[in-house]
Amino acid sequence: MAAIGVFDSGVGGLSVLAALRAALPHERFVYFADTPYAPYGERGDAYVIERTRAVTGELIAQHGIKALVVACNTATAAAIHLLRAEHPTLPLVGLEPALKPAVAASRTRRIAVLATRGTLASAKFAALHAALADQAHFTLVPCDGLARAIEVDDRAQVASLCERYVHQAGHFGSADGQVDTLVLGCTHYPFAAEELRRHTGAAVRFIDTGAPVAQQTHRLLQAAGRLAGPQAIGGVTLASSGPLEPLQAAALRWLGPAGLHQG
Ligand code: DGL
């Protein structure tokens, strides 16, 4: 059975891959990091569309994928509608910041959204925000530089940007008027959760998109009759448009040898 493609500008989508592996243990995955071209978040739509098309083409041509998870909010916002039109028979799952689950989770109805500039500026995000704007107050924080700092593992920069952006997001806490829910609207940010948590306090709820995306992938594969059977042995192949070593190191760090399980 063919593999499921999972793609991000860099290592961020590994946070989604972890959820996919947990929910779909019999599947084989090809994780593709577009590292030399990362980050995407501050580069504009034309660039992100071109890279998303190129990576999707490569995953189809080189790996014969049976489905694609675009594990990148920025690429989804810029290009998922084009991919759907260009690959009508390929099951496709995109990501968007989890505003709806955040509304369900928040008691104070004050929610902060951390995402890339590209995601927050997109028409797709504007429509999502507008549809929920009467249900909660959202503070939107474009986190320039944070995905890059996580990508290159610059821990001092990650720490300082997390502090800056949490303070921009408002006063966190569970009292009325305080932000009690933080949406991690970029797949890199779960890897900075510990740093973010130092500034939000322990009670604030962090929402990312891994688990719902894994469920949606399961549903689509089932509907298409493309789920791997219970005898199949799952695994992960790593691929990149640049050298593989940084991706291998990040995958080991974030998924561990068991999570990686090269197939
Ligand atoms: N991880 C990506 C996202 O979810 C993109 C980060 C970047 O390349 O700027 O938006």
Q: What is the pLDDT of residue 257?
A: 76
Number of domains making up the chain: 2
Same domain, 106 and 166: yes
Same domain, 16 and 88: yes
Same domain, 46 and 82: yes
Tens digit of each residue's pLDDT, the chain (263 residues): 899 999 999 999 999 999 999 999 999 999 999 999 999 999 999 999 999 999 999 999 999 999 999 999 999 999 999 999 999 999 999 999 999 999 999 999 999 999 999 999 999 999 999 999 999 999 999 999 999 999 999 999 999 999 999 999 999 999 999 999 999 999 999 999 999 999 999 999 999 999 999 999 999 999 999 999 999 999 999 999 999 999 999 999 988 876 565 44
Same domain, 73 and 85: yes
* CB atoms inside a 10 Å sphere around CB 85: 8
The closest alpha carbon to 187, from 5, 3, 53, 7, belongs to 7
Distance 38 CA to ligand 1 centre (A): 8
The C-alpha atoms of residue 71 and residue 42 are separated, in whole angstroms, by 17
Distance 17 CA to ligand 1 centre (A): 14
Please list every protein residue whose CB sits less than 6 Å from any atom of ligand 1: 8-9, 12, 38-41, 72-74, 116, 119, 147, 186-188
Same domain, 144 and 242: no
CATH number where 72 lies: 3.40.50.1860
Same domain, 142 and 223: no
Q: What is the pLDDT of residue 126?
A: 98
What is the residue range of 147's domain?
Answer: 99-207
Same domain, 178 and 113: yes
Same domain, 203 and 216: no
Distance 15 CA to ligand 1 centre (A): 12
- Report DSSP state, residue 145: T
pLDDT by residue (tens digit) across 23-65? 999 999 999 999 999 999 999 999 999 999 999 999 999 999 9
Q: Which atom of ligand 1 is nearest to the CA of 13?
A: 1
- Which of residues 165, 187, 207 is at a domain's end? 207
pLDDT by residue (tens digit) across 109-141? 999 999 999 999 999 999 999 999 999 999 999
Nearest CA to ligand 1 atom 2: 72
Q: Which atom of ligand 1 is nearest to the CA of 119?
A: 10
Pocket test of ligand 1: the residue of 15, 16, 40 to mutate, having most ligand atoms within 8 Å of its CB, is: 40
CB-CB contact of 236 with 257 (8 Å): no
Same domain, 198 and 68: no
Same domain, 87 and 106: no
- Which of residues 191, 207, 223 is at a domain's end? 207
> What DSSP letter does each residue of 173-224 carry, written as one string?
SSSTTSB-EEEE-STTGGGGHHHHHHHH-TTSEEE-SHHHHHHHHHHHHHHT
The C-alpha atoms of residue 164 and residue 142 are separated, in whole angstroms, by 11
Same domain, 203 and 109: yes
Q: What is the pLDDT of residue 101?
A: 97
- Catalytically active residues are 72, 186
Q: What is the pLDDT of residue 263?
A: 42
> What DSSP letter does each residue of 31-53 carry, written as one string?
EEE-GGG---TTS-HHHHHHHHH
The closest alpha carbon to 119, from 154, 150, 92, 146, belongs to 146
Q: Which atom of ligand 1 is nearest to the CA of 115?
A: 10
Distance 8 CA to ligand 1 centre (A): 7
Same domain, 109 and 201: yes
Q: Which atom of ligand 1 is nearest to the CA of 189?
A: 1
* 171 dihedral zone (left: phi>0; alpha: psi -120 to 50; beta): beta
